[in-house]
């Protein structure tokens, strides 16, 4: 019978530590960038072909809301 020589072999343990804040933040940032690129490439042209457009910002309404915020109404 063949026997395995395991005397000199070291057992490798998989990394089981948790990712810290900055590693998670970097992963979130990368995911967001990739998903936005995919959205730009796939979703927006599909919506344009379907005839759906994004509404234009109403500058007058935005100006009114900003004035209300400055006055403390909102």
Alpha-carbon distance of 32 to 52, in angstroms, equals: 24
Residue 58 confidence class, pLDDT cut points 50, 70, 90: confident
Higher pLDDT, 49 or 44: 49
> What percentage of the chain carries pLDDT values higher than 90?
23
Among candidates 66, 39, 69, which has minimal Cα distance to 54?
39
pLDDT tens per residue, range 21-48:
999 999 999 999 999 999 889 888 888 8
| Domain boundary assignment for the chain | 19-71
Alpha-carbon distance of 56 to 39, in angstroms, equals: 19
Sign of the torsion angle spanned by Cα atoms 17, 23, 28, 31: negative
Tell me the three state secondary structure of residue 11: coil
Q: Name the pTM for this structure.
A: 0.45
Question: What is the structure's pLDDT at 63?
Answer: 87
């Amino acid at each position: 019978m063949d026997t395995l020589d395991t005397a000199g072999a070291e057992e490798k343990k998989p990394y089981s530590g948790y990712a810290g804040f900055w590693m998670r933040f970097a992963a979130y940032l990368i995911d967001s960038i990739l998903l936005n690129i995919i959205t730009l490439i796939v979703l927006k042209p599909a919506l344009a072909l379907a005839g759906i457009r994004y509404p234009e910002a109403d500058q007058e309404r935005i100006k009114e809301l900003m004035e209300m915020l400055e006055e403390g109404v909102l």
